[in-house]
Amino acid sequence: MAGEIVLGTALAAIGAGVAVGMAGLGSGIGQGIAAAGSVGAVAEDPDMFARGIIFTALPETQAIYGFLIAILLLVFSGIMNPGVTISVASGIVAIGAGAAVGFAGLGSGMGQGITASSSVGAVVEEPDMFARGIIFTALSETQAIYGFLIAILLMVFGGILGT
């Protein structure tokens, strides 16, 4: 089976790995920071559990974007769909798509985790800060969305999706 994979497909596989790996790294670090802050808040005020979970869940999205792009790459490059093959050029485009969503997710996830942790601290200190904390935390999402959109565009216009 492995011998049938063409170079373009193999490059797309690297793109998928970068997408999910880097986005997952950023999301994991961000979520870890947010979770550590939330645990501290819950230790002082058990009523903070639900709000802590919300803030901790926010940096999850970057990993989801990376995961989606990786799945699309795996399906449309032929890894999960043996009848399909892509060219070397499209394979390089796939790496670009993976890097776009991966690195954007890395920065966005870490940034969102820091803001989420800080917001948890602000909410446990002053409960009225919840809505404002969510808004500030959501701001870091935009970079991940840019990366996700560019990854989709690269796949569409780079001959991976819709071929």
Partner 1 sequence: MVEDIATIVTSLGFPSVEAFIGAMFLVLAVVAVVVVVSTIKPVLNMFPYTYPNARVRARTGRLFTEKEFSEIVESQNIEEVKNYLRSVPDYAKYIDLYPLEKALDTQLAETYDLIARITPDNSKDVFKFLLKKWDIKNIKSIIIAKKANLSTEETLNWIVPFGGLTDKLDSLIEADTVTDVLNALEGTEYPKILEDAIPIYNETGLLLPLEASLDQYLLKNLLRASATPEDDNTSLLHNYIGTMIDAANIKVIIRAKADNLKYEDIEAYMISDGYQIREWKLKELMEAEDVAGVVNGLEGTDYAPMLSDAMTDYTETNSMASFENALDSHVSKTAKTISLKNQFGIGPIIGFLNRKENEVKNLKIIARGKREEGFSTSMIKEMLI
Binding site for partner 1 (CB under 8 A): 7, 11, 14, 18, 22, 25, 29, 32-34, 36-41, 43-45, 48, 88, 92, 99, 103, 106-107, 110, 113-114, 117-118, 120-122, 124-126
Residue 139 CB: number of other CB atoms within 10 A? 12
Q: Does an H or E element contain 44, and which?
A: helix 7-44
- Distance of closest approach, residue 88 Cβ to partner 1, in angstroms: 7
Say what the alpha-carbon torsion angle 94, 95, 100, 106 is, to the nearest 10 degrees.
130
Q: Which is nearer to partner 1, 3 or 83 (CB)?
A: 3
CA distance 58 to 113: 8
- Distance of closest approach, residue 133 Cβ to partner 1, in angstroms: 12
- Distance of closest approach, residue 144 Cβ to partner 1, in angstroms: 14
